Chain A
Amino acid sequence: MIAPPKPDLITVNVDGREIAVPKGTNMIEAARLAGVDVPHYCYHAKLTIAGNCRMCLVEMGLPAVDPATKAPITDAATGKQKINWVPRPAIACATNASPGLHIRTTSPLVKDCQQGVMEFLLINHPLDCPICDQAGECKLQEQSTGYGRGYSRYIERKNVKPKRTQLGPRVTLDDERCILCSRCVRFCKEIAKDDVLGFTDRGSASTLTCYPGKKLENNYSLNTVDICPVGALTSTDFRFKMRVWFLKKTPGIDPESSVGANTVIWSREGEIHRITPRRNDEVNDTWMSDSGRLLYREVRSPDRLVTMKLDGVAGGLDAAAASAAWLFRTGGVALVGSGRSSVEEQFVCARLAAFLGAPVFLPSRVGEGDKLLISADRNPNTRGALVTGLVPALPGPGLGDLAEAIDAGRIKTVVSVGEDLAAGLTAGQLAQISVVYVGTRRNATSDAARIVFPALTVFEKSGTFVNQQFRLQKFAAAVPGPAGTADDLVALTKMLAAAGGAALPAEINALWAVLAAEVSALATALYRNIPDTGLLLDRTPWAALPFVEGETLHFKP
């Protein structure tokens, strides 16, 4: 585990308190480090500075020096170096901390600035919070409470602007709520590299819109909804569905590719309502793909497997495990593992395969990377399979020589963990073998299987993935699985035990005690100790492997 380089620290003074901050920190972040909130709208840590909302105005002062000799001038009253306060308020977002910088965030002038800007932002705002999706996570609401006057002096008519504009397939715009902070415009230009948003008209009539003939339809469009500080940009999918304060937040990992974008899964009473990115400056900053946000739908997919199957007859978990063990007894077993399984599942699979002497197959999933947050390796946990020893080398496409082994009669039983065998086997070959399937959704394999364990989606279980940076990242169960399903770990450990192998705990913390003891790369880790931003593993044992990923955000091959 590599320690980050120690930053150059300088001392600044925020509201009378001295604090050391890294050089180059702007005043908003410096104040944040001092525990002081400088309200802002247009500033976003991952976008360029626009400086247009004027909410972060603060008073700024610099230590006085003699212009000729550059010697510090001492204030006789305090005995300290005199501070020259800039008479005009300055925006905290655009000014970087310099040694000895003084900031006042609560002076009468700053308060007056904040109240003024709040009042200005609200005069043309529809104030339709009762029907606005942003309510509860709205900066305008929060900061008008925190920094506004609490009453309105405005008696004129408000601006009328377009409502319910479909900017693209997933984003709906209410221009009347827009405070023209330009975060979305900058995001599209700077991060998504799809410069489709802009303003038309002038002054207070300025209107956010797409360029003529263009749509906001890139795979990152919903990030504009996240960063919109007000309710102007809303997710068409989430709009009017649920009040955000009813939702429970669970940390997750986007399983779309080996990037492993950090996510938050928002659920209520066992139902997921939306997925948003979770900040991780080493992986995904504050962004994630649109496609990753819609994956929660597979939880309620109509083809979800919810019934245990024993040769077509419904039965219990233990009976299924016993039947599987009975199939194993005749020998000729192969295991098809998955790059979508968690590290823990892959570890148990490896143990199961080793105990049965079964060859392991693991189909790769390779697509085109988008250079941002979807990499070429569409398996989220290819590296987990390497780390746990499930596979010794990078997996190839399809199922390799499994078909040949079946035709030759060497393989009679195949255990598949979530992988559809139709990808590499013909219907005839499928019919020739006994299939044990652990998976979430119905497919040709589950149909042909003699034993089916209905398992959990990534949103219903806890575990870890190892992303392309060899960063071990954990996710937690956001919602319980539907009735009839069981955790993959339970199914796999029960099978292993029924077959006569060593009993492994199915509970994740207990299992990690074994994992840490047996897998050298994970020796220092425990599930509950993995930081929210992940744990970088030593990649040297696999450094020579020809991984398929190209460059993405915070990753260079």
Chain B
Amino acid sequence: MAEQRRIIFKHIDEPGYAPDLACYLRHGGYEVLRKAIQRKPEELIDEVKKSGLRGRGGAGFPCGVKWTLVDRKSGKPIYLIVNADESEPGTFKDRHIIHQDPHQLIEGIMITCFANNVRQAYIYIRGEFPHGARILERAIAEARAANFAGPNILGSAYGCEIFVHRGAGAYICGEETGMIESLEGKRPYPRIKPPYFPAVLGLYQCPTIVNNVETLCHVKHIADMGGEAYSRIGTPNNTGTRILCVSGQVQRPGYYEFEVGKVTLGQLLNDVCGGPLPGRKFKAVIPGGSSAKVLKFGERYKGKRKAGAEMVDYDWSLEDVPMDFDSLALIGSMGGSGGVIVMDDSVSMVDALANINAFYSHESCGQCTPCREGSQWMQRITTRMVHGEARPEDGALLKSVADQIAGRTICAFGEACAWPTQSFVQKFPDEFKSYAETKKNDPDARAFELV
């Protein structure tokens, strides 16, 4: 059985571990910052580059590369925005860091800020985390009082302030440029790229780094053990550990931290999570938050993949797929935010898609046409289907609408709302075709309430 390796979640759910500074210090807290601040900032950036750390927010973009893209010549201040807008359905990792170990995050933030010469950092936390926001504010006050944040950190000439900014309940604020707009006090309409790349024209048109909560926690451990050592955790190009949030129809849903790529989907669901509910079989899984493309149990994936420097053949069942960025991308989905959503044979894929579409239609910001109109159209089709007026051609129509969205929008929300529909219809075409019949023959089936 695959063993968890808890680095980020080391103290999560540990009895007696409190989210206050005293407890954090008892466990060796802020020692890494103390050492880091003695080093050259460029060295720290180098460590992160060497570590191969990839962003844990969804896209898996290399963190060190992101930091190197920052415009340091403009003379403008550089900002850090901590993306704590954890809203992707199926994802619940950052909230536990914030609730139970906020100082780990703050230490990671301060190291990142020091490495990048950031003097002001913002934690953008979603509006639905009021408790988390209060915990963070308290933790920041504690850290500031103890000189881990604020002016002249630990007696050095370097100072940095952290502010908590609460969102107002919009999923799109998790998109980095939408978040920047929101932080500036505007509607969170994502910006067009080019020209508004955050690394050059971010917050207040200044160079800005936007990193996920989990990513910044990893930075602390990279600074601690060194990029070289960190890069040996996990698998090549998929380094470190990653928190997987398993929800849905398994025996033991929850959050688990593994070395990236060292656990397969089958091990995760069958061994770690205890397999399907009694009398049930797994049917499908969404491996990286609800916007990732669905995977079907029973599918096989064949081809060539890169292993280190050479190409090797692979022939996987879904259970064999390692839970890392590259493997999941290889089989046509993504590691995304680490939210693993499991569906067993009791689930109608049309119903499930209807729920997902309801979410994305509700959360589309409405700025650009394909996503605004397309997400709502798909939602109206699937809602109509579950309310008993399905047509055999609806599946094909859904797919066609989704195809008109992905790749044509301002931000990645277009893909996020199109991928579920594209993959559900592609992998379960019969369920969509025969849905009207299924409904008719099952008088007990009620259209359940959508989100």
Contact = CB atoms under 8 A, between A and B. Distances in A.
Decide whether A and B assemble into one complex: yes
Interface in B385-414: 397, 400, 403-405, 407-410
Contact of B372 (A49, A57, A94, A203): A203
Given A116-B408, A157-B380, A203-B361, A54 B366 contact: no
A504 interface: no
Contacts of B192: 49-51, 91, 94
Interface stretch (A117-125, A402-410, A482-490): A117-125
A117 B380 contact: no
B404 A203 contact: no
A241 interface: no
B368 A54 contact: yes
Interface in A92-147: 94-95, 112-113, 116-117, 119-121, 123-124
A528 interface: no
Contacts of B362: 202-203
Interface string B347-379: 000000000000001111111111011111100
A202 B408 contact: no
B260 interface: no
A154 B377 CA distance: 8
Contact of A156 (B195, B365, B368, B380): B380
A121 B404 CA distance: 12
B187 interface: yes
A153 B404 CA distance: 13
A121 B405 CA distance: 13
A443 interface: no
B433 interface: no
Interface string B175-195: 000000000000101001011
Contacts, number: 97
A117 B364 contact: no
Contact of A120 (B195, B373, B380, B410): B373
Interface residues of A, number: 36
A113 B370 CA distance: 9
Contacts of B365: 202-203
B410 A117 contact: no
B194 A204 contact: no
B355 to A, nearest CB: 17
A203 B408 contact: no
Contacts of A11: none
Interface string A43-80: 00000011111110100000000000000000000000
B405 to A, nearest CB: 8
B170 interface: yes
Given A51-B192, A95-B194, A156-B377, A199 B187 contact: yes
A556 interface: no
Contacts of A116: 370, 403-405, 408
A53 B369 contact: yes
B170 A202 contact: yes
A275 B365 CA distance: 37
A510 interface: no
A203 B376 contact: yes
Contact of A203 (B363, B384, B405): B363
Interface residues of chain A: helix, strand, loop or mixed (majority): loop
A53 to B, nearest CB: 6
B381 interface: yes
A154 B379 CA distance: 12
A94 B369 CA distance: 16
Given A57-B408, A89-B408, A203 B375 contact: yes
B410 A51 contact: yes
A468 to B, nearest CB: 35
B96 to A, nearest CB: 28
A116 B418 CA distance: 14
Nearest to A179: B369
Contacts of A53: 368-369
Contacts of B361: 203-204
A180 interface: yes
Contacts of A198: 187
A119 B369 CA distance: 10
A199 to B, nearest CB: 7
A250 interface: no
A236 interface: no
Nearest to B172: A202
Contacts of A9: none
A281 to B, nearest CB: 24
Contact of A52 (B367, B375, B380, B404): B367
Contact of B407 (A55, A89, A204): A89
Nearest to A118: B369
Central interface residue in B189, B367, B380, B409, by most chain A CB within 10 Å: B367
Most chain A CB within a 10 A radius of its CB, from B195, B364, B368, B384: B368
A211 to B, nearest CB: 13
Nearest to B373: A120
B407 A180 contact: no
A116 B369 CA distance: 10
B384 A124 contact: no
A85 to B, nearest CB: 14
A204 B373 contact: yes
- Of listed A119, A120, A154, residue having the most chain B CB within 10 A: A120
Contact of A206 (B372, B374, B380, B410): B372
A156 B381 contact: yes
Contact of A205 (B170, B366, B374, B384): B366
Nearest to B394: A155
Nearest to B414: A54
Contacts of A113: 404, 408
A162 to B, nearest CB: 16
Contacts of A54: 368-370, 408-410
Contacts of B408: 54, 57, 88-89, 113, 116-117
A123 B367 CA distance: 16
A198 B375 CA distance: 22
Given A51-B410, A54-B409, A204-B376, A180 B366 contact: yes
B357 to A, nearest CB: 12
B395 to A, nearest CB: 13
A94 B375 CA distance: 24
A198 B407 CA distance: 27
A290 B439 CA distance: 59
B402 to A, nearest CB: 11
A72 to B, nearest CB: 23
Nearest to B366: A206
Contacts of B374: 120
Given A202-B170, A203-B362, A204-B366, A119 B404 contact: yes
A180 B372 contact: yes
Contacts of A95: 194
B323 to A, nearest CB: 28
A157 B381 CA distance: 10
A202 B172 CA distance: 10
A120 B408 CA distance: 12
Contacts of B368: 51-54
Nearest to A87: B407
A540 to B, nearest CB: 42
B310 to A, nearest CB: 24
Interface in A171-218: 179-180, 198-199, 201-206
Interface of B: 170, 187, 189, 192, 194-195, 361-370, 372-377, 380-381, 384, 397, 400, 403-405, 407-410
11 contacts: A52-B367, A88-B408, A95-B194, A120-B377, A153-B400, A156-B380, A180-B372, A203-B363, A204-B361, A204-B372, A204-B375
Given A89-B408, A120-B373, A157-B380, 19 more contacts: A49-B192, A52-B367, A52-B369, A53-B369, A54-B409, A55-B369, A57-B408, A91-B192, A95-B194, A113-B404, A116-B370, A116-B403, A120-B374, A124-B376, A198-B187, A202-B364, A203-B364, A203-B375, A204-B373
Shortest Cβ-Cβ A-B pairs, 8 listed: A116-B404, A120-B373, A206-B366, A156-B380, A203-B364, A51-B192, A204-B376, A203-B366
